[in-house]
Amino acid sequence: MPAFSNIDSPQLFWILAFISAFFIGFSKSGISGAGILAIPLMACIFPPKESTGILLPMLIMGDIIGVYFYRQHTQWKHILRALPWAFVGIIAGWLFMKYSDISQADFKKYIGVVVIVMLIVGEWFNRTSDEKTRHIPHSWYFAAIIGVTGGITTMTANAAGPVFAIYLLSLGLPKENFIGTTAWIFFILNTSKVLFSWELGFITEETLVFNAGMIPALIIGSLVGVKTVKYIKNNTFSILVKIFAILAAGYLIFK
């Protein structure tokens, strides 16, 4: 058990850690957004700084597994449209964390509000009968807004899942394409954040040792996620993703 844990009981520590890793794996290869269930558990067993550093490598491992299982379903045109803007957002988020006087907790509340607004806008895109409005999610400027917002959110809170979920749901992607595209987006973004997180002191040798021990739980969660998705219809999948996005936004706002 790591020395920086908040919990004295080794048994409880490993149970909560295993459950957290399971949900991360499940969200990466199954129901996107389910990883939000791991965030409060991680906050219980680790201080905020260590929790952030531990979470990122676990997310990357989950991304790798998701990329493997859904590698034939990736929609690269949507990734390439948003990705350059996401890198702009990551740099902006890093600069904010390094130099801003606004607390990270307050900033997460703003992010939560933005996610709620984007969910409402995304739902409007899906329900409107106006062809010009329905075309907006396919535009470069919508991808730019999503990319910058997602980049800032992923750098500051590891919580860009709802942002990119809104993007891909607005495009009307089937569940397999949604998961395959999401896996690649976050694999690229999360790996690009490693050096920034190391420089900020979030990732250390000790946190990486703990991450290695969580690989079995991540794999189990991913396998369960793959099996679960096969039995879920596209409409049900979209509803579940939206529910988890709302939960994520609520957690950021009211934490």
Measure the CA–CA gap between 17 and 149, rounded to whole angstroms: 29
CA angle 121, 125, 127 (to 5 degrees): 115
CA proximity to 17, closest of 1, 33, 30? 1
Q: Evaluate if residue 193 carries a pLDDT over 90.
A: no
Measure the CA–CA gap between 23 and 137, rounded to whole angstroms: 29
pLDDT score recorded for residue 89: 94
Weakest-pLDDT range from 11-20, 22-31, 36-45: 36-45
- Mean pLDDT, range 222-247, rounded to an integer: 93
Do 38 and 16 touch, CB atoms closer than 8 A? Answer: no
CA angle 163, 195, 115 (to 5 degrees): 10
Measure the CA–CA gap between 158 and 27, rounded to whole angstroms: 14
- Mean pLDDT, range 132-160, rounded to an integer: 86
Average predicted confidence (pLDDT) for the chain: 88
Classify 157 as helix, strand or coil. Answer: helix
pLDDT score recorded for residue 101: 78
Do 33 and 248 touch, CB atoms closer than 8 A? Answer: yes
pLDDT score recorded for residue 154: 83
Position with higher pLDDT, 19 vs 134: 19
Do 171 and 134 touch, CB atoms closer than 8 A? Answer: no
Q: Evaluate if residue 187 carries a pLDDT over 70.
A: yes
Position with higher pLDDT, 71 vs 5: 71
Q: What is the pTM of this model?
A: 0.87
pLDDT band at 73 (very low <50, low <70, confident <90, very high): very high
Q: Read out DSSP for 79-108?
A: HHHHHHHHHHHHHHHHHHHHH-SS-HHHHH
Do 149 and 135 touch, CB atoms closer than 8 A? Answer: no
- Mean pLDDT, range 12-32, rounded to an integer: 93
The pLDDT tens digits for 29-57 are 999 888 888 877 887 788 776 777 888 89
Classify 174 as helix, strand or coil. Answer: coil
